[in-house]
Amino acid sequence: MCSVPRSTSVSLCQGVMEGLLTRCRALAACSRQLSGSIPCRFHHCAPGRGKRLVLSRMFQPQNLREDQVPSLEGGSGDLTCKSQRLMLQVGLIHPASPGCYHLLPYTVRALEKLVRVIDQEMRAIGGQKVSMPSLSPAELWRATNRWDLMGKELLRLRDRHGKEYCLGPTHEEAVTALVASQKTLSYKQLPFLLYQVTRKFRDEPRPRFGLLRGREFYMKDMYTFDSSPEAARQTYGLVCDAYSSLFARLGLPCVKVQAGVGSIGGTTSHEFQLPADVGEDQFAVCPSCSFSANVETLDLSQTNCPACQGPLTETKGIEVGHTFYLGTKYSSVFNAQFTNVHGKPSLAEMGCYGLGVTRILAAAIEVLSTEDCLRWPGLLAPYQVCLIPPKKGSKEEVAAELAGHLYDHITEAVPQLRGEVLLDDRTHLTIGNRLKDANKFGYPFVIIAGKRALEAPAHYEVWCQNTGEVVFLTKEGVVGLLSQVQVV
């Protein structure tokens, strides 16, 4: 099948290949042993020990003590919310263009943890991960008429041949065409739950609030294909439950509310709303029964609950998830069929489900943080532990070595914390100043080797950010406490 012209170098090439493959396998066999002997320019290394991650080498473009926070969206402070301000201030994000941000190392760590939690929840309900191109051909969108309907929200471009594309803000068309291409699908194979976590693009008229409303952002989008409306409803419920489980694990009190279907379409839709002042949605909940709805779906005159007639209360929310029961809206356009139990072709019943991945991160910071200090869902904190050794030249300086040993001991005794413990080696600063920074960053655990580290046995001061407790513990006590920490 390979129609590439075979050159005279073929047999040579194969001879070279064999020799190389042999050498390469030998190399592979010893690369494991070698990987411990990488030069130590980037870490503090204790001889015979693992590497220590040190704060002074982190790339964080903002100076913690500078008030000047970069903004491309108007002057400083304008249009800025708490999460955006804090994230810019401590160097989690950096503006690239309106609505587009560089995600800096701490944020990438948190984001990757969030994606792992999402993967766990999606896999648990049978989700299969795919990755669809961002470049989405115009003809797909013309088929559903959304090339026109989406208007200015679509970012459009032409390739060198003049062919039109948009940058996908969502992928109903693409995934339905993909499933439609599978010509021998049987009802026995369904449901399919296909999802991806990729960058999406939307030309927002007014991008704002940092990662809460950007033009380029990460979204988890899932598309489901079922063999009957009943099965599709069951799948819809299953995905909604997975979303509830996800938000519960993150400690985010999201509310599932009935919602409109917008440009996506379909017949049933729900939003997952995280109550917050800066939220751009308004939703109503009934304190007496389980009713809740985006106010867009209610009559303006409706102040009482349609279910129990009790008074409704309104709250602002950030939409962090959205689910749609689509029926055959897209499968009928692209002819996404399967063979049903009677041997007849039948259109797949679809659903689609979105999670704003970068938005969840910012929304969590928005609701969990104080005005001055970042707080993370425990599972998503970029580093679980910050260890502060004494100041250089202070009375406690001799405890510096103990702090190093404690670092090594933690990462040996608590394997899930490998790569999760940061040493604040800026020992020209006082413990107090570094504790203030650590508090601002929101590490779930801050451990200080101070005065009481000189006692026998040494005691370390442990700040548990998420409970507000401060305790003094021995090395064993520290390990006992930290071995409880869940890391994803």
Residues 120-179 that bind a copy of itself (CB under 8 A): 123-126, 128-137, 152, 155-157, 159-160, 163, 165, 167, 174, 178-179
Contact 87, 106 (CB under 8 A): no
Contact 462, 473 (CB under 8 A): yes
Q: What CA–CA distances, in Å, run from 376 to 84, 113, 217, 220?
A: 14, 12, 19, 20
Contact call for residue 43 and a copy of itself (CB under 8 A)? yes
Specify the residue, 1 or 300, whose C-beta has the smaller distance to a copy of itself: 1
Contact 48, 55 (CB under 8 A): no
Contact 61, 92 (CB under 8 A): no
Footprint of a copy of itself on 238-297 (CB under 8 A): 238, 244-245, 247-253, 255, 275-278, 285
Contact call for residue 353 and a copy of itself (CB under 8 A)? no
Gap between the Cα atoms of 244 and 225, Å rounded: 21
The interface region with a copy of itself, picked from 26-34, 259-267, 304-312, 400-408 by CB under 8 A, is: 26-34
Give how many residues touch a copy of itself by CB under 8 A.
121
Gap between the Cα atoms of 420 and 442, Å rounded: 13
Footprint of a copy of itself on 355-414 (CB under 8 A): 367, 371
Specify the residue, 102 or 142, whose C-beta has the smaller distance to a copy of itself: 102
Footprint of a copy of itself on 207-226 (CB under 8 A): 215-216
Smallest gap from Cβ 20 to a copy of itself, in A, equals 3
The residue within the footprint of a copy of itself, chosen from 52, 107, 236, 442 (CB under 8 A), is 107
Specify the residue, 343 or 457, whose C-beta has the smaller distance to a copy of itself: 343
Footprint of a copy of itself on 425-484 (CB under 8 A): none
Q: What residues contact residue 128 under an 8 Å CB cut-off, 6+ apart?
A: 192, 193, 194, 195
Contact call for residue 485 and a copy of itself (CB under 8 A)? no
Nearest in space to 191 (alpha carbons), one of 330, 352, 348, 322: 348
The residue within the footprint of a copy of itself, chosen from 87, 90, 103, 399 (CB under 8 A), is 103
The interface region with a copy of itself, picked from 74-82, 349-357, 384-392, 395-403 by CB under 8 A, is: 74-82
Specify the residue, 163 or 395, whose C-beta has the smaller distance to a copy of itself: 163
Gap between the Cα atoms of 276 and 282, Å rounded: 10
| Bridge partners of residue 461, in order along the sequence | 448, 472
The interface region with a copy of itself, picked from 98-106, 263-271, 384-392, 436-444 by CB under 8 A, is: 98-106
Gap between the Cα atoms of 81 and 58, Å rounded: 25
The residue within the footprint of a copy of itself, chosen from 141, 187, 192, 353 (CB under 8 A), is 192
The helix/strand/coil state of 464 is strand
The residue within the footprint of a copy of itself, chosen from 118, 193, 336, 400 (CB under 8 A), is 193
Smallest gap from Cβ 452 to a copy of itself, in A, equals 31
The helix/strand/coil state of 105 is helix
Gap between the Cα atoms of 478 and 448, Å rounded: 11
Specify the residue, 46 or 261, whose C-beta has the smaller distance to a copy of itself: 46
Specify the residue, 251 or 306, whose C-beta has the smaller distance to a copy of itself: 251
Specify the residue, 38 or 307, whose C-beta has the smaller distance to a copy of itself: 38
Footprint of a copy of itself on 46-65 (CB under 8 A): 56-59, 61, 63
Instruction: Give the torsion through C-alpha atoms of 22, 28, 34, 38, to 10 deg.
Output: 110
Smallest gap from Cβ 315 to a copy of itself, in A, equals 5
Smallest gap from Cβ 194 to a copy of itself, in A, equals 6
The residue within the footprint of a copy of itself, chosen from 142, 149, 189, 341 (CB under 8 A), is 189
Smallest gap from Cβ 465 to a copy of itself, in A, equals 15
Gap between the Cα atoms of 277 and 81, Å rounded: 10
Q: What residues contact residue 87 under an 8 Å CB cut-off, 6+ apart?
A: 93, 107, 210, 211, 362, 365, 374
Contact call for residue 313 and a copy of itself (CB under 8 A)? yes
Smallest gap from Cβ 22 to a copy of itself, in A, equals 8
Q: What CA–CA distances, in Å, run from 179 to 81, 222, 336, 338?
A: 41, 13, 6, 10
The residue within the footprint of a copy of itself, chosen from 33, 188, 342, 393 (CB under 8 A), is 188
Gap between the Cα atoms of 411 and 421, Å rounded: 8
Smallest gap from Cβ 100 to a copy of itself, in A, equals 4
Q: What CA–CA distances, in Å, run from 126 to 119, 175, 195, 235, 324?
A: 10, 17, 10, 10, 18
The interface region with a copy of itself, picked from 95-103, 338-346, 393-401, 429-437 by CB under 8 A, is: 95-103
Instruction: Give residue 226's region: left, alpha or beta (phi > 0; psi -120 to 50).
Output: beta
The residue within the footprint of a copy of itself, chosen from 20, 307, 464, 471 (CB under 8 A), is 20
The helix/strand/coil state of 301 is coil
